[in-house]
Structure 1
Amino acid sequence: MSLINISNLTFAYDGSYDNIFEEVSFQIDTDWRLGFTGRNGRGKTTFMNLLLGKYEYSGTISSQVSFEYFPFPVEDKEVNTIDVIGDIVPEYVHWELMRELTWLRVAEDVLYRSFASLSNGEQTKVLLAALFLKENSFLLIDEPTNHLDMGARSLVSDYLKSKSGFILVSHDRSFLDNCVDHILSINRTDIEIQRGNFSTWWENKQRQDQYEFAENEKLKKDIKRLEEAAKRTSNWSHEVEKSKNGTRNSGSKVDKGYIGHKAAKMMKRSKSIEQRQQSAMDDKSKLLKNVESAESLKLTQLSYHKHQLVELDHVSIFYEEKQICSDVRFTIEQGDRIALSGQNGSGKSSIIKLICGEDITYTGTFRRGSQLRISYVSQDTSHLRGNLTDFARTHGINESLFKAILRKLDFARVQFEKDMGDFSGGQKKKVLIAKSLCEPAHLHIWDEPLNFIDVISRMQIEELLLEFGPTLLFVEHDREFCEQIATKWVEL
């Protein structure tokens, strides 16, 4: 066991006026299984790059261990997988590699195939096995779940639970809950470490948020009372001061010294109340510092003239004479939220393409309602360019609502002026989801919408869907999200 010490860490990118980190200090035990969470764009990958020594910063980072980052870059994917592992860990021991692959349920023949021929899930597992062959290193594991189906996620989570000495960036709550023992969270104004898994951290955060909301309401009442008291006292002192130049009711001459003394006391009391009011406002500014945005939004969906929108009956899909899936049977009815699940390669994307109207070779019966309007969120975000205002106009959606959804999902207003090509992967997916929620549609189809999206935004998207109640067909490997949202499951 040793410690990684971060002291007074301050960092900003060149040309930026805003610090990503400012005077941050904490310690990490190298035996921990540390889950790393925080909103998109808050600096998780930046922090790991600072540990790797990629950027200059002020403050100190001291450690007796080296750092290794996952995923490793693979320059030539056409070489055999065993050669890829040899490039990453030149002095690996073969039986140790086979031990790791066995735990990850990867067959030995994978080693003698080209890396490019492996599925995304197989590639992830192979690179994880190589990572844990590294000795005397603290491992920085950045979003390993993005290409894993639900079964593979469970397997990899159990694998990581048997290890120690890593930081894990993941937005999958079930995945984190199973395999971490501490949480490192980047909040709106600070960084904190707590013992326990994600659910423990989230429960504590909600408790803190509720406390701050209650204190905030109390302070608002105190400020209003103090404002009224200060106003009354100021009026009293003003009236008393005016009476210095007047006369008493009896007609006798005014005692200006007495009146002035009384007015001064009144003014002093007014100033005292004003100072108490300012102090209360200062206290108020310390509250709600890490409470995430929670604006209420009004979303509507088109109503279709029939209850049933789509029907598949004994549908089999073929690609270049190869059968992708067979005997698929389900219907989509208004109000359904259907989770389409299955292993990678089982035909989920092909089913979605068929429903969306692409030219797909199939047998069986497929019916889609006439003039059915579909809003589609694809896995691909590479086409996003330009600013959000032009994007909203191009797609004919309500710009105010579109941006309000993005604000709820933690977009800063300054982000609205930037080119979408410079957005993070999670921010790009949020753009597509916000667009879909704004579109007038009978049916929403989302293909792995949550890749790269931070965990708090995932929960806010859940809240929007449960309140909005759209008809939805979706593919998603985040088990918690599926269990919260799905009214039906279709397993391929």
Structure 2
Amino acid sequence: MSLINVTNLTFSYDGSYDNIFENVSFQIDTDWKLGFTGRNGRGKTTFLNLLLGKYEYRGTISSNTCFEYFPFEVEDKEIITSDAVNKIFPEYLEWKLMRELSLLEVSEDALYRPFKSLSDGEQTKVLLAALFLKENSFLLIDEPTNHLDINARKLVSKYLNSKSGFILVSHDRAFLDNCVDHILSINRSNIEIQKGSFSSWWENKKRQDSFELSENEKLKKDISRLSEAAKQASDWSDKVEKTKNGTRNSGLRPDRGYIGHKAAKMMKRSKSIEDRQQKAIYEKSKLLKNIEDSDSLKLCQLAYHKSRLVELENVSVFYGSKIACKDISFTIERGDRIALTGKNGSGKSSIIKLILGEDMDYTGTFRKGSRLKISYVSQDTSYLQGSLTDYALNNDIDESLFKAILRKLDFSRAQFEKDISDFSGGQKKKVLIAGSLCEKAHLHIWDEPLNFIDVISRMQIEELLLEYSPTILFVEHDSEFCKNIATKNFEL
């Protein structure tokens, strides 16, 4: 066991007015299985890069630990997979690699095929196996689930649960629960570590948020009451002080000593009330700093004139002589929320392309409602560039509503001035989802919409879909999202 000590860490990117981290201090045990969570753009990958020594910073990060980062970059994907592993770790023992691949259910022949011929999931597993060959290192695992289907995620989480000594960045709640024993969270105003799973951390956070909201409301009332009491005491003191000179023409001589004593007493009471008021204001200022903005979102889906929007009966889709999927039969009825599931390569994207109207070779019966308007969120975000204003204009959506949705999904106003190409992966996905929510459509089709998107935003999107019950067909490997949202599951 060794420790990683972070003390008064402060960091900002060149040209940025705001610090990503400011005077942050905490301690990590290198035996922990540490889940790393926080909203998009908060600095998770930045912190991993600071551990790797990629940026200059103020403060100290002290450790005698060697760090390794996942995913590794395989520059030449044409090479044989075993050679790719050898470039990552030239001194590896083959029997150890075979042991790790066996645990990850990757066949031995994968090592002797070109790396590019492996599926995305197989590539992820091979690189994870190579990562865990590096003994005496603390591993920094950055979003390994993005190319894994539900079954592969279960397998990899079981694999990671058998290991220790890593930081795992993931937004998949079930995945984190299955393989971590501590949570490192980047909050709005600090970084904190808690022992336990993601679910236990989330329950604790909800309890803390609820307590702070309650205390905040109580203190608001106290401050208002004390403010009024202080004003009354001050007014009383002034009135008493004025009586020291007596009433004009009354002929009476007031007891100035008594009146002065009484006025001083009133003033002292006023000062005491003001002190209590300031203390209440200070206590209130310490609250709500880590409560996330998770306002509800709005969705306006068009009503279709028929109950059935799409029908597939014994549909098989082909790419030349290759069959993508075979004998698929299901319908999309108005109000359905259908999770389209299946292993990677089972044909999910092919079915989506067919419904979207792309030119596909298929057999069987396929019917789609006339004048059916579809809003589509693709997996790919690489093409996104330009300003948010340009995006709204080019996609004929309401710019004010579009930006309001992004604000609720934790975009800062400063983010609105940046080029979309500079956004993080999660922020780019939010642009696509916010755009889709603004579109007037009868059917929403979302293809792996949650890749890179933070947990709190996922929960917001879940609440939206449950509240408005739009007709939607989606492909998603987050098992919690599927369980909470789908009214129907169709597995290929």
Calculate the TM-score normalised by the size of structure 2. 0.95
Residue-by-residue CA offset, 1:180-234 (whole Å, 9 max, x unaligned)? 1111111111111111111111111111111111111111111121122223233
For the residue of structure 2 that corresponds to 1:233, the secondary structure is: helix
Q: Does 1:486 align with 2:486?
A: yes
- Could you tell me how far 1:490 is from its partner in structure 2? 0.6
Q: Which residue matches 1:391?
A: 391
Q: Which residue matches 1:466?
A: 466
Q: Which residue matches 2:338?
A: 338
Residue-by-residue CA offset, 1:11-45 (whole Å, 9 max, x unaligned)? 22122222212222222111111111111111111
Q: Which residue matches 2:324?
A: 324
Q: Does 1:74 align with 2:74?
A: yes
Q: 1:210 to 1:358 in 2, by over 3 A?
A: same
Q: Which residues in structure 2 correspond to 1:341-352 (within 5 Å)?
A: 341-352=341-352
Q: Which residue matches 2:15?
A: 15
Q: Quick check: 2:296–2:464 contact (8 Å CA) kept in 1?
A: no
Partners of 1:52 and 1:111 lie apart in 2 by 29
- Could you tell me how far 1:65 is from its partner in structure 2? 2.1
For 1:312, the aligned partner's letter is L
For 1:468, the aligned partner's letter is Y
Residue-by-residue CA offset, 1:310-350 (whole Å, 9 max, x unaligned)? 11111111112211001111111111110000111111111
For the residue of structure 1 that corresponds to 2:291, the secondary structure is: coil
For the residue of structure 2 that corresponds to 1:9, the secondary structure is: strand
More displaced stretch, 459-468 vs 143-152: 459-468
Partners of 1:224 and 1:401 lie apart in 2 by 35
Q: Quick check: 1:248–1:254 contact (8 Å CA) kept in 2?
A: no
Q: Which residues in structure 2 correspond to 1:450-461 (within 5 Å)?
A: 450-461=450-461
Q: Does 1:431 align with 2:431?
A: yes
Partners of 1:466 and 1:116 lie apart in 2 by 40
Residue-by-residue CA offset, 1:452-481 (whole Å, 9 max, x unaligned)? 011121111111211122111100000011
Q: Quick check: 2:7–2:25 contact (8 Å CA) kept in 1?
A: yes
Q: Which residues in structure 2 correspond to 1:49-448 (within 5 Å)?
A: 49-240=49-240, 247=247, 252=252, 262-448=262-448
Structure 1 unaligned blocks of 5 or more: none
Residue-by-residue CA offset, 1:289-319 (whole Å, 9 max, x unaligned)? 1111132444322111111111111111111
Q: Quick check: 2:426–2:454 contact (8 Å CA) kept in 1?
A: yes
Partners of 1:240 and 1:471 lie apart in 2 by 72
- Could you tell me how far 1:396 is from its partner in structure 2? 3.0
Q: How many residues align?
A: 492
Q: 1:239 to 1:295 in 2, by over 3 A?
A: farther
- Could you tell me how far 1:265 is from its partner in structure 2? 4.1
Q: Quick check: 1:316–1:324 contact (8 Å CA) kept in 2?
A: yes
Q: Quick check: 2:294–2:457 contact (8 Å CA) kept in 1?
A: no
For 1:321, the aligned partner's letter is S
- Could you tell me how far 1:241 is from its partner in structure 2? 5.0
Identity score, percent: 77
More displaced stretch, 275-284 vs 306-315: 275-284
- Could you tell me how far 1:400 is from its partner in structure 2? 3.1
- Could you tell me how far 1:397 is from its partner in structure 2? 2.5
Q: Quick check: 2:298–2:464 contact (8 Å CA) kept in 1?
A: no
Q: 1:249 to 1:441 in 2, by over 3 A?
A: farther
Partners of 1:243 and 1:110 lie apart in 2 by 98
For 1:358, the aligned partner's letter is E
- Could you tell me how far 1:249 is from its partner in structure 2? 9.4
Partners of 2:282 and 2:182 lie apart in 1 by 33
For 2:23, the aligned partner's letter is E
- Could you tell me how far 1:256 is from its partner in structure 2? 6.4
Q: Which residue matches 2:47?
A: 47
Q: Quick check: 1:145–1:170 contact (8 Å CA) kept in 2?
A: yes
- Could you tell me how far 1:134 is from its partner in structure 2? 0.7
Partners of 1:208 and 1:154 lie apart in 2 by 30
Partners of 2:201 and 2:401 lie apart in 1 by 31
Q: 1:371 to 1:251 in 2, by over 3 A?
A: farther
Structure 2 unaligned blocks of 5 or more: none
Partners of 1:395 and 1:231 lie apart in 2 by 56
Residue-by-residue CA offset, 1:247-304 (whole Å, 9 max, x unaligned)? 2795636666665654454444333323322221111111111111132444322111
- Could you tell me how far 1:121 is from its partner in structure 2? 0.6
Partners of 2:188 and 2:313 lie apart in 1 by 50
More displaced stretch, 296-305 vs 195-204: 296-305
Calculate the TM-score normalised by the size of structure 1. 0.95
For the residue of structure 2 that corresponds to 1:145, the secondary structure is: helix
Residue-by-residue CA offset, 1:28-78 (whole Å, 9 max, x unaligned)? 111111111111111111111111111111222222220000111111111
For the residue of structure 2 that corresponds to 1:332, the secondary structure is: strand
More displaced stretch, 403-412 vs 115-124: 403-412
Q: Quick check: 1:309–1:334 contact (8 Å CA) kept in 2?
A: yes
For 1:471, the aligned partner's letter is T
Q: Quick check: 1:241–1:260 contact (8 Å CA) kept in 2?
A: yes
- Could you tell me how far 1:157 is from its partner in structure 2? 0.9
More displaced stretch, 38-47 vs 226-235: 226-235
Residue-by-residue CA offset, 1:386-442 (whole Å, 9 max, x unaligned)? 222332233333333322222222111221222211110001101111111122211
Partners of 1:11 and 1:112 lie apart in 2 by 44
For 2:473, the aligned partner's letter is L
CA RMSD of aligned residues (A): 1.9
Q: 1:298 to 1:91 in 2, by over 3 A?
A: closer
